[in-house]
Amino acid sequence: SIFEPELVTIDTCKYGEHRCHILEPGTNFTLGIQFQNQIPAMKLFLQLYAISDQRKRYRLPLFRDQDFCSEMTSFITKEKPESCPLTAYDIYRFEIPFCVPKSAPNFRGQLKLAMVNEENEKLFCTKMPFWIQPPRYE
């Protein structure tokens, strides 16, 4: 089966030209997603979560850009994340723009990206450690 979680990784996280490990609220970022082999043409829906080390789960909005979409929504929520349609045509990698809302709380945890099909079955899933922290002003 091609639907193995290890087949996909987040290989870059960028803030402009800089790599990101601390995410500042109110900032836009880009995740680079790398597939280990080509995936056949299919329609994927993306869901991005932030999971804190205390096991709290937050939804991160993907922002509207070309094929990626989601309205900015409340950051702390019990709802499932909005799915964002993406059509993959025999690709090895693609980039996902997302943003951390200004209202985001400080926390350290994992960024979890899930990709589901139209029946909401999970196809791929990958995680990346990260830390949300507002800028320190002198």
pLDDT-derived band at 35, boundaries 50, 70, 90: confident
Would you say residue 138 lies in a domain? no
Evaluate whether 123 touches 35 at the Cβ level (below 8 Å).
no
Rounded mean pLDDT of the chain? 64
Evaluate whether 116 touches 83 at the Cβ level (below 8 Å).
yes
Would you say residue 137 lies in a domain? no
Would you say residue 111 lies in a domain? yes
The share of the chain scoring above pLDDT 90, in percent, equals 0
Considering the entire predicted model, what is its pTM?
0.57
Would you say residue 60 lies in a domain? yes
Q: Residues 44-74: pLDDT tens digits?
A: 677 777 777 777 766 665 544 433 333 333 3
Would you say residue 35 lies in a domain? yes
- Which amino acid is it at 43? K
Would you say residue 14 lies in a domain? yes
The total of structural domains in the chain comes to 1
Strands (E), 69-121: 84-88, 93-100, 107-116
Q: Which two tokens stand for residue 109?
A: 């945890």
C-alpha span between 61 and 97 (Å, rounded): 9
Identify the CATH number of the domain in which residue 9 sits. Answer: 2.60.40.770
Would you say residue 109 lies in a domain? yes
Q: Containing domain of residue 61, as a range?
A: 5-132
